[in-house]
Structure 1
Amino acid sequence: MHVRLLGPVEVRTAERWEPITAAKQRHLLALLVVHRSRTVPVPVLIEELWPVDPPATARALVRNYVMRLRRLLGDDDGSVIVYGPPGYRLDLPPGRSDAELFRAGVAAGRRALDEGDAVVAVRHLRAALSLWRAVPLADLPGEGMVGVVRRELEGVRDAGRELLIDARLVTEPAAVVPELRVLAAQSLREYRWGQLMRALWLSGAPAEALGCYGRLRAAMAQRYGAEPGPHLRELRDRIRAGERGRTTTGVR
């Protein structure tokens, strides 16, 4: 059995992916997947499935949803969705959830980049980000555990995108300039502007990189009354020093 969470919830037990049409069963399976191999107490499941005014028959309904999920998953002996006081756990082998594969791929990309292998980092990060189909758990309500997991996954995706740009700055800096122009224009986030400055510098456009610093500095002064931080100032100084060295040696 495999499960997709990076979009609408889907399961694959044979040859194709299938949605789970019943909303409460879909919600219950997602809760068990994100707590893989850990028992989720029945009272917690009830609170998640019915955040307001749970029915008096909530415990019986949870048992019924579990029974239907087992039938859907071919879990006739209860060895996949396992009951053990005080609740249920999903015995799913590692790597059967796209969310888990995604996190592992981002972590592998980060390790490769830290070890100086940008080519491998790009491969891992692109593969991880390609698993996304839509908003995580898109067909579930956004409160409770679902909301927490959704925000956590979106945070990892944002980090993965930044890591991918960092890796591509090593392998193909000119290729990321158009994307970074758009991203930098959307915010005054210094890290993003630093990426654009590095991309321009490495692409042979140091004057434009320094111009980016000047634009960011003016915008930050106007909005916040503040200067760019030391990381960006150090990058500016390195670009300036590189330009002075090129001028001194007569290289243009």
Structure 2
Amino acid sequence: MPDKPMPHTGHGLRHVEHVMGTVFSFDIRDKPTTAIHRALAETVQHLHRVDAVFSTYRPDSHISRLDRGEIRLDDCPPEVHEVLSLCAQATHDTDGWFSIALAGTLDPSGLVKGWATEAASQLLYEAGAHHTCVNGGGDLQLHGQPTPGTPWRIGIAHPLHPGKLATVITAHGDLAVATSGTAERGAHILNPHHGTPATTFASLTLIGPRLTLTDTYATAAFARGDGAQNWLESLDGYEALAVLPDGQEWRTPGFRRYGS
């Protein structure tokens, strides 16, 4: 379910890339420089490399070959070690509600997209792009502000009413926004303890500091279902909006800082 910046008419640099089975978009509000153009090109190459390493749909990817036992972890690129370590930590942090071993196969894609988006944003930041929105398939990593003195405004699609918004998030500075839901792909998130589709929510939007964990925690909370609200309220630095299949909603106490 796409979350996206509200339209603007300012100057900057934009790019859209189809990769990893989804669409990545880059909204850079800094004055384009040679360094920023170069970093954007490197970022796009990075995303295609991530796809080649981690895609579970490509039989020649490292993660597919590792799952089949054709190679060992030591034979994989360093980023595989990093991602699997992050996945293990996320599994621990979520009491097992995040899992990369569903249906008996190795699948870290629930973390990879957020991790790749956050890394892309950081590459641009290091090149001097300090006011950016990187959108990886509907999950966003923000830096700075779109124009001096104005916040980012992120429209959150309503899962039950196509074309309408559940809320608009306004934010200054560095922030991540991730939404898990059923509107785009149906009931694709599974309860890792039972292997059945998670159906407590129509959508769950999570705001946090960095997208890797924000996206992962959103998926875990969606899978957790009825216990998600208490768990999310226990997390420091994260706020959530949940829409239930009957149209009811709940928000964590601090969500009002970002949206209605």
Q: TM-score range by the shorter chain?
A: under 0.3
Q: Which has the higher contact order (CA 8 A, sep 6+)?
A: 2
What's the TM-score once normalised by structure 2's chain length? Answer: 0.22
Question: Between Structure 1 and Structure 2, whose CA radius of gyration is higher?
Answer: 1
Question: Which protein is richer in strand relative to its size?
Answer: 2
